[in-house]
Amino acid sequence: FLSQTPWLWNTRQCWNGYPYQSLMPDLHYYYIVELSFYWSLMFSQFIDIKRKDFGIMFTHHIVTVTLITFSYVTNLTRVGTLTLCLHDAADVVLEAAKMANYCKCQKVSDLLFLTFAIVFIVSRLGIYPLWILNTTLFELYEALGNFPALWVFNVLLVILQILHCFWSYLIIKAAYKAVSKGKVAKDDRSDIESSSDEEETVPCSKTPHSTISTNGTGGANGTNGYLTGGTCSEEH
């Protein structure tokens, strides 16, 4: 859809004819799908594994849903599609890294994670401020002057950039560990899950016990449906 639009290649086209820009069906459905996805993330976060950046991730979901809704209502949808597409680029690689980790393909998972780290940092710390923030902070003001929606929109976009900086710091730490130790040893970002690490940190009793478990509920030694067996030493 975006490859056929003029504003992908020239961001000044986002403001030509604003606010009287027609809402194309493809753009409308793109927004509906993205809004539905982020609403689902907001609710599923409460039943997922709770991580140390729960509050920050929840803030991100609130800001994102508000941005999508606000840009749709004020017809700032052209630049909105660019922002959505840019954010989705890194998420595709991240989900692939997760799946490789769940399949116990550690080398593939590490490679995909390092790829994700590069894509995330380039897109969120490079392209986002130079492409998205540049057009909303400067080109939009030059084209249309000052109006209230401009300030609300830009404040939300700047909050996103602050979150990008925080997550980039955590991702760089995890990437350094992946290179130095040969695996992503710790979950430094809420979306970087490691099922193998979770299994290793399950508390074990001081005496041998049965390995029988059903969906992680058949005994103290079952986690997420996996069977963790054998005798756990007192030291472990």
Residue 221 counted as domain residue: no
Task: Give percent of the chain with pLDDT exceeding 70.
Answer: 77
- Is 218 inside a domain boundary? no
pLDDT of 13 > 70? The answer is yes
Number of domains, the chain: 1
The yes-or-no verdict on residue 207 having pLDDT over 50 is no
- The per-residue pLDDT for 184 is 57
* Sign (positive or negative) of CA dihedral 155, 156, 157, 160: positive
The reply to whether 44 falls in a domain is yes
In a domain, 198, yes or no: no
Asked if residue 232 belongs to a domain, the reply is no
The set of residues, in sequence order, having a beta carbon less than 8 Å from that of 81 and lying 6+ positions away, is: 1, 2, 5, 27, 30, 31
Tokens linked to 36: 């539905």
Examine residue 167 and state whether it is found in any structural domain, yes or no.
yes
CB atoms within 10 A of CB 14: 25
Higher pLDDT, residue 103 or 236: 103
| Neighbour-count burial for 163-192, b at 16+ CB within 10 Å, e otherwise | bbeebbebbeebbebbeeeebbeebbbbbb
Average pLDDT for the chain: 81
The pLDDT value recorded for residue 192 is 45
Query: Is residue 11, in this structure, part of any structural domain at all?
Result: no
21-60 core/surface letters (b: 16 or more CB in 10 A; e: else): beeeeebeebbeebbeebeebbeebeeeeebebeebbeeb
Would residue 194 count as lying in a domain?
no
Q: Which two tokens stand for residue 179?
A: 């290179």
27 or 195: which carries more pLDDT confidence?
27
What local confidence, expressed as pLDDT, does residue 219 receive? 45
**If DSSP codes are grouped into helix, strand and coil, which group holds residue 207?**
coil
* Lowest mean pLDDT across 26-40, 87-101, 166-180, 199-213: 199-213
**pLDDT per position as a tens digit, 52-63:** 778 888 999 999
CB 141 within 8 Å of CB 213:
no
Summarize the confidence of residues 200-206 as an average pLDDT: 44
What range defines the domain where residue 52 resides? Answer: 22-184
**How much is the pTM?**
0.73
Q: Could you read off the pLDDT of 66-106 as tens digits, one per residue?
A: 999 999 999 999 999 999 999 999 999 999 999 999 999 98
Q: 173-194: per-residue pLDDT in tens?
A: 888 887 787 655 445 544 444 4
Per-residue pLDDT tens over the stretch 120-171 = 999 999 999 999 999 999 999 999 999 999 999 999 999 999 999 999 999 8
pLDDT value for 206 = 42
Nearest-angstrom CA–CA distance, 101 and 96: 9
Residue 45 has a pLDDT of 87
Instruction: Find tokens 């970087």 and name the residue.
Output: 192
Given this model, what pLDDT does residue 57 score? 87
